[in-house]
Amino acid sequence: MKSFFSNQINKGYAVIFGFVALTVIFSCYLMYYGAVFYGVNEKGDALKESMVKKEIRAATVEGSIVDASGDIITYSEEPGVSARCMYNSYSQLIGFNSAMYGRYGLRGRYEEVLFTGDKNHQGSTVRLTTLNRIQNAAYDEIRGTEGCVVILENATGRIIALATSYPGIEMDVNDLSSNWNEMNSSEHDGFLIQNWRKALAPGSTMKPVTATLVFDEGLSDEVYEDTGSEKIGGYTFHNAGKGVNGSIRLNKAIVKSCNTYFAHMTNEIGLFNLKERAEAFCIGRQLELDFCTVSSGHHLSDSTTEEVAAAGFGQGQLLLTPINIALIGEAIANGGELKQPYLIDSIYNADGVSYTGETQVLSQACSREAAEYVSSAMLDAAESYGIDRKLGIHAKTGTAQVNGMHRASFLSFNDKYTVCLVENNTRKSGKNLAGSAVRLFKLLDSVNEVKHE
């Protein structure tokens, strides 16, 4: 050691060697830090990818969103300029894509395709299954309320309209700054208000599900003596308005929306059958759709006897979203076949079509006979709501009690479409929404055909 320290040449070379080592180590580090070679630095790779994405995005004209007929919903003409939305009825559905406010809704979910440029640096176009005319009309029906409209095409599961609204908030995604404070002060805390994802008690719109079960269990002809009340467990159930229906069968029970009948039948059929049937209708299952995830719940396994009975007519531990309610109508209209709703018709750019939405059968929710029976009863029910039988509309209303207020729902379908209207936090009953449903059906009929590509 001492000889090393007394020899200056050795020490000089030691210093040189130190710097050689530093240069080599640093050069390697630089390549690692800069994520030059893919797969070596995972965090760096992720950062690099997000950076590239950001750059591509800045150089790409945001892709358009169009309806099924090709009518424009959002469009942009310049790279880096956020697309403009043409209709407020779509605001909560398509959402926004903003550096300041974040990315939500369809524009958040499909950010990558909307900013994946073709040879002209134009992002891909996302074609929806909706029709602007129907969407706008649906939105007009619920504007100013905490409402939601879901319209499905029975044969395919295509979503023709999906509108949502909130009192006092007219969201304009083209000018987020002006209503951002309003959005943040609402219970939704700045996120999009998508009532189709809000799961609450469905009320009597659950009865068609129980009815299919009653039919399939061979109890449809069993006569029930309705005295206006039914005691199950420690709880006495009553009909709405304390009504008494006398001797009734399933058909009349649906038309009269008899709570005691369905509580009695559910108690007879039992928890496991109801649970199985509910799940066949996608209740209590998580639905992964192409634009959002819808969660509903039944908690039947943890319920008491009276809670299970209450679930039979749409109260108790049941939580359904408007999409779940619409699916009940769609399945009955399709003879028990439940088809997955979808919103994205196709995604394409100048280089070709990259995605096409397809019809998928989720389950055979009930027997065809049960579906036809319930469908027929719902036609009678629609007539009892004052809807002209000639219109061919089948319907069932629902009015659930939620925190002292109503959740009014109106489930209806004809041979082509299912229309579900829901209004939360209201004093209305489901029957009050019948007029809106009829107007929407008439409008749907006036649209000659939905163009598919």
Partner 1 sequence: MIKNTIKDAGWLLGLNAAFVVLLVLFAVNRGLGDAMLSIVIPMLLITSAALFYTYRFSGDTVTAIASALLLETGQMTQVLINEETSAQSTVLLFVSPFLGVIGIIAIHLMQKIDYSDRIKSVRTLSILAGSILVIALGLLIFGRNINGTKAWLVVGGLSLQLTELFKPLYIVFHAVLWSAPFRHRTRFLLSAGITFGSAGLLLIINELGTLLVILCMWIILTFLYSDRILDTAISFGGTVLTILGGYAVMGLIYNSVKKTISMGEAPNGVMKKIFQIYDKLRQRVMIVTDLDQYLAEYKDEASRQPFKAREMIMKGGLFGTTRRTTIPIENSDYAYVGLILRCGIVFAVVVLVLFFIIFCRSMIRSVRISGKYESIVLTGAALGLILPTFINVMGTTNFSFMTGIAVPFISHGGTNMILSVFNVMLLLWGSCRTGPDIAGRIGAKFSGSRRKNPPVPNTIPFTR
15 binds partner 1 (CB under 8 A): yes
To the nearest whole angstrom, how small is the minimum distance from the Cβ of residue 1 to partner 1?
Answer: 7
Residue whose CB is less far from partner 1, 79 or 297: 79
272 binds partner 1 (CB under 8 A): no
79 binds partner 1 (CB under 8 A): no
Query: Which listed residue (29, 120, 121, 451) binds partner 1 by CB under 8 A?
Result: 29
To the nearest whole angstrom, how small is the minimum distance from the Cβ of residue 2 to partner 1?
Answer: 7
16 binds partner 1 (CB under 8 A): yes
- Piece of the chain touching partner 1 by CB under 8 A; list 5-13, 133-141, 219-227, 331-339: 5-13
HEC readout, the chain: CHHHHHCHHHHHHHHHHHHHHHHHHHHHHHHHHCCCCCCCCHHHHHHHHHHHHHHHHHHCECCCEECCCCCEEEECCCCCCCCEECCHHHHHHHCEEECCCEEEHHHHHCHHHHCCCCCCCECCEEEECCCHHHHHHHHHHHCCCEEEEEEEECCCCEEEEEEECECCECCCHHHHHHHHHHHHHCCCCCCCCCHHHCCECCHHHHHHHHHHHHHHCCCCCCCEEECCEEEECCEEEECHHHCCCEEECHHHHHHHCCHHHHHHHHHHHCHHHHHHHHHHCCCCCEEECCCCEEECECCHHHCCHHHHHHHCCCCCCCEECHHHHHHHHHHHHCCCEEECCECEEEEEECCEEEEECCCCEEEECCCHHHHHHHHHHHHHHHHHCCCCHHHCCEEEEEEEEECCEEEEEEEEECCCEEEEEEEEEECCCHHHHHHHHHHHHHHHHHCCCCCCC
102 binds partner 1 (CB under 8 A): no
To the nearest whole angstrom, how small is the minimum distance from the Cβ of residue 60 to partner 1?
Answer: 14
Query: Which listed residue (35, 213, 263, 393) binds partner 1 by CB under 8 A?
Result: 35
- Piece of the chain touching partner 1 by CB under 8 A; list 26-34, 283-291, 297-305, 355-363: 26-34
11 binds partner 1 (CB under 8 A): yes
**Binding-site size, partner 1 (CB under 8 A):** 30
1 binds partner 1 (CB under 8 A): yes
Residue whose CB is less far from partner 1, 32 or 272: 32
Query: Which listed residue (21, 22, 81, 353) binds partner 1 by CB under 8 A?
Result: 22
47 binds partner 1 (CB under 8 A): yes
- Piece of the chain touching partner 1 by CB under 8 A; list 20-28, 184-192, 228-236, 380-388: 20-28
To the nearest whole angstrom, how small is the minimum distance from the Cβ of residue 4 to partner 1?
Answer: 9
38 binds partner 1 (CB under 8 A): no
What is the contact surface with partner 1 in residues (CB under 8 A)? 1-2, 5-9, 11-13, 15-16, 19-20, 22-23, 26-27, 29-31, 33-36, 44, 47-48, 51, 55
